[in-house]
Structure 1
Amino acid sequence: MVKTLPAVLVRTTFVLSQAEYTHFALQEGLVATVYVKLKEKEIKQKQLTENEVALRNAKATWASCQNVGRELRMNIDGELEEIMNQHQHSTKTRILKKLANLNNGPLLIPQPVNGYINLTDIGLSPNQKRLLNFGLNCQVQRRVNPHHKRMEIEKLIEDIQELEKGRKINISPNLIPELICESGRNRGSAKSKILSKELITAAQELRENKDIVIRKADKTAVYVIMDKTDYLQKINEILSDSNKFRKISRDTTNAIKVRVNKVIDTINAKMGGVHFQKITGEYSPGYMYGNVKTHKNGNPLRPIISQIPTPTYALAKKLNKLLTPYVPTEFSLRSSKEFIDLLQHKSSQGLIASLDVESLFTNVPVEETIDMIIDEVYHGEKTPLDVPENLLRQLLRLCTKETILEHLMGDFISKSTALLWDHL
């Protein structure tokens, strides 16, 4: 703030972007420009605070209206949001025009990207849109389940002891007791600093809406909102293939665990010692869901079968580790980056083709694949495993063809085909 003006200065007051400035020019041909704000910061802050208070009061008054139906409220909220969007658009256009004039050319401004795709006819409230626009990369800490925490720490202790037994690590004598103590502690807070009460309410509204399903997009980190009937229809189309799945009348999880443990006991007895850990603890069927392929016509689903809660999950991971050295690598690539490097540094010969296989993992012929694995392990060029051939075949079948999953509607489905590696 300039309080006194020298006689040699000529003052001109003008307005730019809702703030008053003063232009001072030196006389006698010497030109200099100085911009001095005339509005005090305290005045602006006071006006901003008054506007925020008025907006909060208006929202509270609107929220307290008990005689307004949910549908009418959503319609009014939608109209208000449209008015706000129009105001923001006109303000943004005006500011960009000024900036373009100052820059002597157009400016490229990053555009916001929606964190969701709505494939339904259901309108979303402003708070629901704000919540979904946080996107999949926004992580909110959940309340810790004490039972799950104890199970995870028990599994961690088993893995640590297995590594120590194989002389791969040395552990401190106090580590195991400290982990056991940690399993009973409740650390941190599940209270979110970014989720307001309005956003929590919006999340509850989305969860309680029985007409929609919210899934992840297949190739994009965004949410996809689908009609539940459409989602179930597409899931049922996948499960209706009797060559891959069959419906069963009961949960056979415990029976599978008993059968696997019998094979493990036989293997350990024949090999001498404990080479495979017996399956202990409580388990449940796997589950199937679908990520939406929004980049394809008709928005089909990519079926994903999670075997994490099943009794064969840990066994399948161990088998995968044992069999990985036998997988041919001459014509294999570890990642898309390796493929790009290969194209950039080597001259191509012939044609490069990309094949898109529909539902790859559920279309793999399991018996033929198991035969190929057995042939490579026991009749190939590398040293075969010490596990008897017929028993390894039984384990592979149990981990692929005998696992079950639970349908979204509560039915139990047995997989007629699967891959060992879909457990990873």
Structure 2
Amino acid sequence: MTIRFIHAADLHLGSPFKGFAGLPGKISETVRESTFTAFRNLIDYAAGARPDFLLIAGDIYDGEDRSLRAQEQFRQGMETLSEVGVPVFVSHGNHDHLSGSWVRFSLPENVHVFGPEVETAELTVRGTNVRIHGFSYPERHVTEPVIGHYPQADSDAVEIGMLHGSIRGDEAHDVYAPFTKDELLGKGYDYWALGHIHKRQVLHKQPPIVYPGSLQGLHRKESGVKGFYDVTIRQGTPSLEFIPAGALVFGEAEVDCSGIRHADEWLDRCMDQIRAFREANGPGLIDLLLFGIDEQSEAMFSDAPESEWLEFIREAASNDFPDIGVHRMTWEREAAPSVPGGLMRDVLDEIGSWDMDGWKSRLSDLYGHRQAYKFTGRLDEESIREIRKEAERLLTDGLMKGGRAE
């Protein structure tokens, strides 16, 4: 007995990709189209490999107001798989829940969309009965456990569970349809196809409990190669092959600025790191982290605003590596520069005194807004650290410029 299927999740078709202003034209277009490109890569692979079926475990669309274009792209992909005889099983997640408002598109008969209650779909693969269990989110917030509604395994069939949710107690992610690993294992299934967590993870090997991660990174925190799993279960033994699908990779490159005295030296070092990133990852969008900034290199950088340095490296990178974009640059200075006192210094001191609850309180209107949420994501400790660092950098730049102007 051998069955083969593809497990994908978190396509987020139509993600708006806000916050990437200033990128050169070609890479900007690549970013905007990346979720659609990654989806086409998935469809092309599935149409060529012709697995027994395809599982998509939630968040096909980026929002409850599914765009016409995103729906049409998805429908065309399903038509392609219908033509080669590949069944598709779909569960909708918290982003594309069933209560959203959108213009409906019809889907071909090879597509089974799970409803708001846990249900079982069955098919026969070369004489082997396969049972697939799943549900779609009836609304955005499914915070109560759903795992108890999944049936126990039938030993005469290959049993697969689809669940868009997170491990109970995992505070690094928004907790939806929470479960424990023991609860999943207790069902006796041969494979758990999970979604919701955008990082690729195998929570258990035998039987596999798997997050394939998002099909395409959606922002700089979602770094690394993204894709899906090609899964084979042969005589009860599973094997998983990860297949890259993303149109570009988010990442970071570190540039050592020690000993630099001239802009051309800095440019050469930046281009070396960009080249290395391109060779290792393919097309991508990177942040440059400048470190080792000594007194002389600091003096060089101070002769032009940071925005000009960023524009300069973006133009140079686009000429040599048109499929690599520089998102932003961060200056890692060894010590805070001397700045004038007064009101701005007081502001810096005030920001430095805020604890986690203080930051969350001050940003609650933005991060808790129903429409803004799709662009901001969750306000976690890493987000707050980045916001604090960027706020202090902007204020420090203002202090330095103010000091020079005086």
Task: Give the TM-score category using the shorter length.
Answer: under 0.3
The TM-score with structure 1 as length reference comes to: 0.21
The TM-score with structure 2 as length reference comes to: 0.22
Structure with more of its chain in helix, by fraction:
1
Structure with more of its chain in strand, by fraction:
2
